[in-house]
Amino acid sequence: MTLARLNRLTASLSKSGLDAVILNPGPTLTYLTGLQFHLMERPVVLFISEGKDPVLVLPELELPKVDLFPYKVQAIAYGENPSEWDKAFREAAQALGLDAKRIGVEPRQLRLLEFRYVKAGAPDAEFPDASDVLTNLRLKKDKAEVEAMRQAVKIAQDSLEATIPQIKIGMTERAISSELVIQMLRHGSASEMPFSPIISAGPNSANPHASPTDRKLQIGDLLVVDWGAGYDGYISDLTRTFAVGKVDDEYLKIHKIVQDANSAGREASKPGAPCANVDKAARNVIEQAGYGKYFTHRTGHGIGMEGHEDPYMRGDNTQIMEAGMAFTVEPGIYLPNRNGVRIEDNVIITENGADVLSDMPREIRVVG
């Protein structure tokens, strides 16, 4: 499977005006090799070009991993003395004849550390953005990827269900977050989760990207739980909002509006339609209810090996949804200094519609 992925990438290089791409440790490197490399002070770079075996520059201590590669790769290893590292990168560039060529880079992943070594090895090369090539490579998930994501969703949902009985009035956001992380590990999540759980209550829940604090749950709070698990290299990203004891009627109202917006966004998730439709469908529900200015972010983002990747469900995104695309649908309403609501599900586009991987109840539930 990884060889097929490599072949797809190399076949797309010349069409994109690239002679090669370079990758350092991260999701795309893992996608193409099936292997995990550490992102550390010792640079690791895979050089890929069409018609030649890839070249891997790595520290000597990582050499045993070369035997695990699913295809032939030329390894160039260096020792602990940083003054010798330039030589390894010159050898790699020369092996593929890359000086004065166009070497595509992944701007969101490649660090200045690796770039400087590659640039020194190929000083006359150009380094264009290869995001489109690499994004398209990972954009549509195959059956195995979907099943890994489905399992990541199950782990996340089971973990929160196990956490809910532990949530009590007076418990801090940090304590809930800690318990949820423990439950995810117990239920089979990878130790490296896609992000730290967002646990926010009361005024904090009006901040979409709040971090857990020592604030204690109080009656009348809305409690937003945004969490995700990792499984076999793939992730889930979900959100549910709870009532802490009895809450004001307006908070019940905005929860129902967001629930309806979430449903509309999922209904708009169809092959052949633009990504913008998902955002417009969800946003329309919230705007018609009079809360449009309190929905302050896009309706969703792609998921897979990363928590945020293409496609993005924005009102201006004309990209067409195709089978295999995976993304979140997560509308919200955030009333500043009061309370907030978000409901988030994970969706895979299919040939005929959409497969919603998450099925945890979306109706408001009382905790505490």
Per-residue pLDDT tens digits for 303-312: 999 999 999 9
pLDDT interval class at 366 (50, 70, 90): very high
β-pair partners for 167: none
For range 328-332, the mean pLDDT? 98
61-77 pLDDT, tens digit per residue, is: 999 999 999 999 999 99
How far is it, in rounded angstroms, from Cα 365 to Cα 368? 10
DSSP 200: E
Confirm whether 2-138 and 140-367 share one CATH topology: no
For residue 309, the SS3 value is strand
Mean pLDDT value across residues 89-110? 97
What 3-state DSSP class applies to 298?
A: coil
DSSP state of 223: E
Residues 68, 77 contacting (CB under 8 angstroms): no
Q: What is the mean pLDDT of residues 14-25?
A: 95
The predicted-structure confidence for 177-230, as pLDDT tens digits, reads as follows 999 999 999 999 999 999 999 999 999 999 999 999 999 999 999 999 999 999
Q: What is the pLDDT of residue 159?
A: 98
- List, for residues 280-296, the tens digit of each pLDDT value: 999 999 999 999 999 99
**Given a cut of 90, is residue 1 above it in pLDDT?**
no
- Tell me the domain boundaries of the chain: 2-138, 140-367
Mean pLDDT of the 306-327 span: 97
Q: Which helix (H) or strand (E) element contains residue 135?
A: helix 131-139
To the nearest whole number, what is the mean pLDDT of the chain? 97
Give mean pLDDT, residues 252-261. 98
The two three-digit tokens of residue 348, written as one number: 């895979």
Core vs surface per residue 107-134: b (16+ CB within 10 A) or e: eebbeeebbebbbebbeebebeebeebb
pLDDT at 12: 94
pLDDT at 367 over 90: yes
Looking at residues 99-108, what average pLDDT do you find?
Answer: 96
CB of 348 within 8 A of CB of 149?
yes
Whether the pLDDT of residue 174 is over 90: the answer is yes
Query: Residue 288: enclosing H or E segment and its boundaries?
Result: helix 276-288
Res 14: pLDDT: 85
Q: Options 3.40.350.10, 3.40.50.300, 3.30.390.10, 1.25.40.10; which CATH number does 2-138 get?
A: 3.40.350.10
CA distance 217 to 199: 11
Secondary structure of residue 48 in the 3-state scheme: strand
Report whether CATH 3.90.230.10 matches the domain 140-367: yes
Q: Is residue 330 a contact partner of residue 281, using CB atoms and an 8 Å limit?
A: no
Residue 54 has pLDDT above 90, yes or no: yes
**Tokens representing residue 278 in the block:** 């998902």
